[in-house]
Structure 1
Amino acid sequence: MTGTNAPTGLAGSAGSTESPAPPVRIGRAAVGALGTLAVATGALESVVTPTLPLLQRELAMSPSEGALLSVALLVTGALVTPVAGRFGDRYGGKRVLIRLMAVVCAGGLVSALATGLPVLLLGQVLQGAMVGALPLSFILVRKHLPEGESKVAIGVVSGLFVGGGMAGTLSAGPVAEGLSRHWMFALPTLAVIGATLLVNRLMPNDPPARPDDAGVDWPGLVLLSGTLVTLMLALALAADLASSQPLVLGALLVITAACATGWAAVERRAASPMVDLRMLARPVVWKSCVLTFVLCVGTAVPVHLVPQLFAVPSDAYGFGAGATRIGFFLLPGAVVASLAGPISGLGARRFGPRAVVTAGTAIMAAGLFGLAAVHSEVWHLVLGKAMIALANGLIVTAMVTSTATTVDRGDTGIATSLVLVTRVIGYAVGVQISGAILTAGTPPGSDVPAESAFVTGFALAAVVTALSLLVTRTMSKGAEE
């Protein structure tokens, strides 16, 4: 992405012969403001997952509709992030960050006031703009701090975002059950508003860099948006439309195929494509994308199914857990996921990315097969979810590392953006498939899916994950120096 290659100096005025003025150095207070914003956005991003069963119950949503809600923010983020990075380079990181957070705050307030699924979906779509906040924060840090200090600051901000996500996972349930689901969105949104004002006050302005003559690939962005939105709708509604309105389902699939075809054609011809598809001709890139897609589908299935299984009434085959207990049960997986990145980096340096990906894939497949076979105790689900979270962190970090270190330096941003976009698509598809399986497995007149639906979902994800080992064998053993 463009944001990762932001210049460290400020462009001089047109025609000026003077050297560019050095950037204003920021202090701990400004970095702390960015960290506070990271904590607040991390908390706001994470409130839906542990409370999804509660939201489905209060808003009378089917599991498929709940799956659509859980990926709306992520899909928007995949579209916003590359544009935000480019705008940050062109117009200044602070200016774009503040405007982006205004959209996020509006989305949080819409979610807090929502009384039905359509309005809540709109709020989540607007909140998705927060995914672009971290790259913009990194642009600001790199512009205003020396390289060594900027690496430390980026690590601090990234860590605080993860910490905010953990805080949101733990606090969402108690707030939703003790106050209401409205406050579950409102409180972190108020924190985001306060943190944004703090950043606006403490962070110095960064004049824009040299304008990008190629501009933004708006046609590509629109067509990719259409592809993702119609694909998510088709997957979410497949269980309901397949028997009652097959023509509507067919029309959605045709629109998806048309948008995808048009997007591919536009990206091949664009002077500055949002995603350079020509990079997919390189074996290291297409293998990384295939693996990332398959393994993120495998990860997404338990991310959606495990909270639903926790919420199944205890007089059936579940545990009758409320939002508070679900958040507590999910916390170990979040902690493990935060540790997986550094572990993966060390493992890739010593043994090579292929060894890390292979190990992660084996751990994920074992966790999924285990969940399909045994899920009668809370610790079964907690352990299985933690194994999958660890495996996902190992794999994604190793895949990005492998891709970034085996292409030319000038192609690093393009190649890694392909992997990251593929990650979002794989995750979204996995969640929607899970929701469709639960919807299809729910008997008429009941709100509780059959236990076999969960077993089917876990087993299907395990088989798909295990098959990806065939691709990992063709990866290079280590990264090129």
Structure 2
Amino acid sequence: MSGAVVSPVRIGRLSIGALGILALALGTLQSVVEPAIPLLQRELGISPAEGALVANTLLITGAVLAPVAGKLGDRYGGKAVLVRLMTLVSAGGLVASVAPNLPVLLLGQVLQGVMVGALPLSFILVRKHLPAGESQVAIGLVVALFTGGGIVGTAVAGPIAESLSWHGMFALPTIAIIAATLAVTRLMPHDPPLRSDSRIDWPGVLLLSGTLLAFMLGLVTVTSAALPPLAIGAIAVVVVALATGWVVVERRAASPMVDLRMLAKPAMWSSCVLTFVIATGFGMVLFLLPQLFTVSADGYGFGLGTTDIGLLLVPGAIAGAVSDSVGGVAARRFGPRAVIVTGAVVTAATMIALASLHTAAWQLVVAKVLTAFAAGIGTTALLAGTATAVETEDIGIATGLLVVTRVIGVALGVQVGGAIAAAGADPVSNLPSESAFVTGFAIAGLVAALSLLVVRITKKEVQA
């Protein structure tokens, strides 16, 4: 049995293709909400804050589920867990496609958030059935197609909503997910659990889920509402208490959800720190660029509509998809450290330049292309490198932790960008001032430069 796991010829292009198509469909379903938030606000009669909640619900669920899904895949087999999670995602898509109001739509988004767990589960399947070098390339392909789905979702959300309804934005990708899941079920060989005789550390699962949920909800609340210091302190205490409880439980568990010795390895924790820094900087870019396209004021801004903004953001989305596929290959050839350094330099230089030059739309388009490519190759290189650096039985939880770190980093960057824009809003027009965008771009550049410092500090660990 172990020989089948490490054999480089046990799965072929059809199996990898089925995983890739599933990732493409999932990326599409995930991304249709972003350009449709104004439409959903009008159709459902909800406020902008409630519209933001629609977008954040999937992210929060994904952050909670990603490490849990990876651990379940390590224990029970990647294919078995993947198929079950896709059943939940499909149910969520169908619920959203018939949602008559906001609560039902949020329920659908909660179920769809499970899709984030598909990435670490796909990594488990690829790593078990391919040798290290080929698995890095395959991981890059799966991530690239997931990112590519974001391009598709952004592009088709408007036309589908106009020709059918906003319900169709959820229904069509869900049908594709169901078909791709059936293909994976038929084509992908079963991977037997590596530690089927051990128990799931459910206290650890609940505490980690609670920590992530409290952190994500606290992040959204703190950055979107004027809370008193006491309330902010209370949220921080809850997060720290849950995290501390999780560490205590994991140290004492006979079969912990996360082996803290693995997390303490320099290669693992440095990858988590770098992924977080890279994703945070990119999250700020994700928020600030569309805002600058939208705003219309004397001397700055462009006053563009949703369709035009989507078209201008497509080149960046394409660059992100390409970078994800290149990231695995680059990590294999040059090593993750060299890839990260290159991406950090490009991002920092781009953001500093954009802080000074942002008077033409093409400048923003180029900035999005460069930063998306840099962030994509960096985080994918770290994912691919980690998947081949840890023990086989820990692939799911290790990559799951990196995926959730990436999600949290992007969420933090988006919220920080929003806070900067809100703090710099003109009191009369309530629009972000030009100085707010300049500050945001400069801070994003500094965050990118911070990753260079992290690489220097952890040089030996990243190379390992």
Report the TM-score, using the length of structure 1 for normalisation.
0.79
Letter in 2 for 1:225: S
Q: 1:311 aligns with which of 286, 289, 294?
A: 294
Q: Name the counterpart of 1:111.
A: 96
User: 1:385: how far off?
Assistant: 0.9
What is the alpha-carbon root mean square deviation over aligned residues?
A: 4.0
Q: 1:81 aligns with which of 62, 66, 90?
A: 66
- Aligned 8 A contact 2:139 2:384 in 1: no
- Aligned 8 A contact 1:363 1:391 in 2: yes
User: 1:190: how far off?
Assistant: 2.8
Q: 2:377 aligns with which of 387, 390, 394?
A: 394
- Aligned 8 A contact 1:232 1:432 in 2: no
| CA 1:29–1:297: 2 relative to 1, 3 Å | closer
Q: Name the counterpart of 1:216.
A: 200
User: 1:443: how far off?
Assistant: 5.5
Q: Secondary structure at the match of 1:213?
A: coil
| CA 1:61–1:365: 2 relative to 1, 3 Å | farther
Q: Name the counterpart of 1:176.
A: 161
Q: How does 1:182-193 map to 2 (within 5 A)?
A: 182-193=167-178
Give the whole-Å Cα distance in 2 for the aligned partners of 1:257 and 1:28: 45
Give the whole-Å Cα distance in 1 for the aligned partners of 2:188 and 2:325: 31
| CA 1:368–1:223: 2 relative to 1, 3 Å | farther
Give the whole-Å Cα distance in 2 for the aligned partners of 1:342 and 1:199: 21
Give the whole-Å Cα distance in 2 for the aligned partners of 1:139 and 1:287: 21
| CA 1:115–1:416: 2 relative to 1, 3 Å | same
Residues 1:463 and 2:463 are matched in the alignment: no
User: 1:396: how far off?
Assistant: 1.6
User: 1:384: how far off?
Assistant: 0.8
Q: Name the counterpart of 1:383.
A: 366
Give the whole-Å Cα distance in 2 for the aligned partners of 1:456 and 1:449: 11
Larger deviation: 408-417 or 118-127? 408-417
Letter in 2 for 1:261: T
Q: How does 1:266-285 map to 2 (within 5 A)?
A: 266-285=249-268
Q: Name the counterpart of 2:273.
A: 290
- Aligned 8 A contact 2:351 2:444 in 1: yes
| CA 1:467–1:100: 2 relative to 1, 3 Å | closer
Residues 1:238 and 2:222 are matched in the alignment: yes
Q: Secondary structure at the match of 2:226?
A: helix
Name the % identity: 57
| CA 1:426–1:35: 2 relative to 1, 3 Å | closer
User: 1:122: how far off?
Assistant: 3.2
Letter in 1 for 2:92: G
User: 1:427: how far off?
Assistant: 1.9
Q: Name the counterpart of 1:262.
A: 245
- Aligned 8 A contact 1:171 1:324 in 2: no
| CA 1:264–1:375: 2 relative to 1, 3 Å | farther
User: 1:103: how far off?
Assistant: 1.0
Letter in 2 for 1:83: V
Q: Name the counterpart of 1:13.
A: none
- Aligned 8 A contact 1:8 1:144 in 2: no
Q: 2:212 aligns with which of 228, 248, 263?
A: 228
User: 1:389: how far off?
Assistant: 0.7
- Aligned 8 A contact 1:68 1:233 in 2: no
| CA 1:293–1:87: 2 relative to 1, 3 Å | closer
Structure with greater helix percent = 2
Report the TM-score, using the length of structure 2 for normalisation.
0.82
User: 1:133: how far off?
Assistant: 2.8
Q: 2:27 aligns with which of 42, 47, 64?
A: 42
- Aligned 8 A contact 1:53 1:307 in 2: no
Q: Secondary structure at the match of 2:176?
A: helix
Q: How does 1:412-431 map to 2 (within 5 A)?
A: 416-431=399-414
Give the whole-Å Cα distance in 2 for the aligned partners of 1:8 and 1:316: 66
Give the whole-Å Cα distance in 2 for the aligned partners of 1:89 and 1:439: 43
Q: Secondary structure at the match of 1:242?
A: coil
User: 1:107: how far off?
Assistant: 1.7
User: 1:104: how far off?
Assistant: 0.6
Letter in 2 for 1:81: A
Residues 1:473 and 2:456 are matched in the alignment: yes
Q: Name structure 2 gaps, 5 residues minimum.
A: none
CA deviation profile, 1:396-450 (whole Å, cap 9, x unmatched): 2333455566667777666555444332322222222223333444467866433
Q: Name the counterpart of 1:165.
A: 150
Give the whole-Å Cα distance in 2 for the aligned partners of 1:84 and 1:203: 21
User: 1:89: how far off?
Assistant: 5.4
| CA 1:39–1:360: 2 relative to 1, 3 Å | closer
Residues 1:129 and 2:114 are matched in the alignment: yes
- Aligned 8 A contact 1:174 1:323 in 2: no
- Aligned 8 A contact 1:67 1:236 in 2: no
User: 1:127: how far off?
Assistant: 0.7
Larger deviation: 176-185 or 112-121? 112-121
Letter in 1 for 2:350: G
| CA 1:134–1:280: 2 relative to 1, 3 Å | closer
Q: Name structure 1 gaps, 5 residues minimum.
A: 1-5, 11-21
